[in-house]
Amino acid sequence: MDIDDHEITVSVNGVRYQRRVESRVLLSDFLRHDLGLAGTHVGCEHGVCGACTILLDGQPVRSCLMFAVQAEKHEISTVEGVAGKDGEYHPLQQAMHDHHGLQCGYCTPGILMTMTAFLEENRSPSEEEVREALSGNLCRCTGYQNIVDAVMAAAKRMRG
């Protein structure tokens, strides 16, 4: 098979990366294995579980449903960039810790990305709205209740 490589430039968590990448390489694989940003997890590779969710120009997308080459010249945020530079938790990370919103933690990065973006748009969500926003991320451990509580608590804190 002909190898179809492309030179791409992407920005991830504010750092610019230039890499040569095969056209068929998934963005999730590129982030995890080419850039070593393994915090983005892969759960289903068919866009259902939400574990691989990242932000592309601020919008949550499934990195398993995109090719790395499609991210050319885009700004990506991953779980590694959620906390402050000094390691200070984002309010949602803090709330997830406080409310026991994670168990095995495998789905957590995707949930953090989906819900931090949600909180940017809606600082005063109802529980129903939180559940709706969360419903594209599967978690098999927690039963969601503590995640919902964490998002509500984070929203409250972010409202100040």
Residues engaged in binding other proteins (CB under 8 A): 1, 22, 24-25, 32-33, 36-46, 48-49, 51, 78-80, 82-83, 87, 89, 93, 96-98, 100, 102-109, 112, 130-132, 134-148
Strand ranges across the sheet with 75-77: 15-22, 5-12, 75-77, 53-56, 59-62
Residue number, 11 or 103, with CB nearest to other proteins: 103
Measured CA to CA in angstroms, residue 65 lies from 49, 80, 126, 147, 148 at distances of 12, 20, 30, 25, 26
Distance in Å, CB of 159 to other proteins, minimum: 21
Residue closer to other proteins (CB basis): 73 or 86: 86
Q: Which of 35, 61 has the CB closer to other proteins?
A: 35
Instruction: Give the shortest CB-72-to-other proteins separation in angstroms.
Output: 20
In angstroms, rounded to a whole number, what is the distance separating the alpha carbons of residues 41 and 24?
19
Residue ranges in 105-144 assigned as alpha helix (H): 108-121, 127-134
